[in-house]
Amino acid sequence: MLEQVKAVYRKSLKPKDSLFNIYIARPIAAPLVVCLSKTKVTPNQITFTSISCMCAAAALYCTVSGWLGLLLGTLALEITYLLDCTDGQLARVTGQSSPVGAALDFLMDELKAFLLIGSLAARGYLQDAQGVWILFVGLASAVVVGSALSVTQFLRCPAYVAFAEARGQKTLKHGEAAGAARSSKIWPIEMVIRLIQHYPAGLPIFAAFDRLDWFLCAYGGVHVLYLAKSALAFLPLCRRAPTTQQNAEDP
């Protein structure tokens, strides 16, 4: 079984995976995938279980005050992500991968992001008496994150990929956004941004200091940066398409 676990772990790694995935999430998920592959449990069932755990995390953040709420909510959040790592790999191991399953997984990721934002804003307002401003931050973050998710969907759609590749532009492959490679001179800043954007890794740090409101601000902020960067991809769409027709000269 150990060799199966090692094989599943190696296959689960993405080209530019995060350190959190490499050393924590995927090593824990691999044995679970091996065990589940011997049962009748389907990847989609794991996906729906994952969103259920996220609902539980949101409820715990909103209803349980103090350090206990932080601990239980964050624990449920990490279980959510563990299951999120499990469903896709289980689909590949058992030969149940499908475009519908991939689309469902992305949909659930979107819903989890909104649940997280809503629960953190509600916790700040209901339990920490931080006032209306935290609700405003939550609303702004929801708008920004929703816009970022929509942009990501567009940049990965086949029509845009074909458009970009025809012009020699580099397109983002699935999973590369989470990369931790030191690809530029500002890689320390990039790693901090990825740490915040990848909330299973970043949120526990803020929770340890009881500053989930800071995380909410930072989470919305990094998505503003993502939108600003992604705006460059839309510039070619504003230019007139080249034409192959040439004006005929007068005889």
DSSP-derived secondary structure for 117-148: HHHHHHHHHHTS---HHHHHHHHHHHHHHHHH
Least confident of 9-23, 63-77, 216-230: 9-23
Number of domains in the chain: 1
Residue 18 near residue 179 (C-beta atoms within 8 A): yes
In a domain, 162, yes or no: yes
Q: For the chain, give the mean pLDDT.
A: 85
Query: Mind listing the pLDDT tens digit for each residue in 29-48?
Result: 999 999 999 999 999 999 99
In a domain, 67, yes or no: yes
Q: How far is CA 121 from the centre of its chain?
A: 19
In a domain, 59, yes or no: yes
In a domain, 250, yes or no: no
In angstroms, what CA-CA distances link 243 with 168, 240, 246?
18, 9, 8
On the question of pLDDT at 106 being above 60, the answer is yes
Give CA–CA dist 182/213, Å, rounded: 29
- Confidence tier at 97 by pLDDT (50, 70, 90): confident
Range of the domain at 101: 2-236
Q: What is the CATH number of the domain that holds 20?
A: 1.20.120.1760
Give CA–CA dist 43/67, Å, rounded: 33
Residue 178 near residue 14 (C-beta atoms within 8 A): yes
Least confident of 70-79, 94-103, 124-133: 124-133
Tell me what pLDDT residue 221 has: 94
Q: Is 98 left (phi over 0), alpha (psi -120 to 50) or beta?
A: beta
Give CA–CA dist 179/16, Å, rounded: 4
Average pLDDT, stretch 135-139? Answer: 93
* More reliable by pLDDT, 138 or 177: 138
In a domain, 11, yes or no: yes
Least confident of 142-151, 153-162, 165-174: 165-174
Query: Mind listing the pLDDT tens digit for each residue in 72-83?
Result: 999 999 999 999
Instruction: Strands of the chain (E only): list them.
Output: none
* More reliable by pLDDT, 133 or 52: 52
In angstroms, what CA-CA distances link 239 with 97, 142, 158, 159, 236?
38, 31, 20, 17, 5
- Does residue 218 sit in helix, strand or coil? helix
In a domain, 138, yes or no: yes
In a domain, 8, yes or no: yes
- Global pTM reads 0.84
Give CA–CA dist 228/221, Å, rounded: 11
In a domain, 183, yes or no: yes
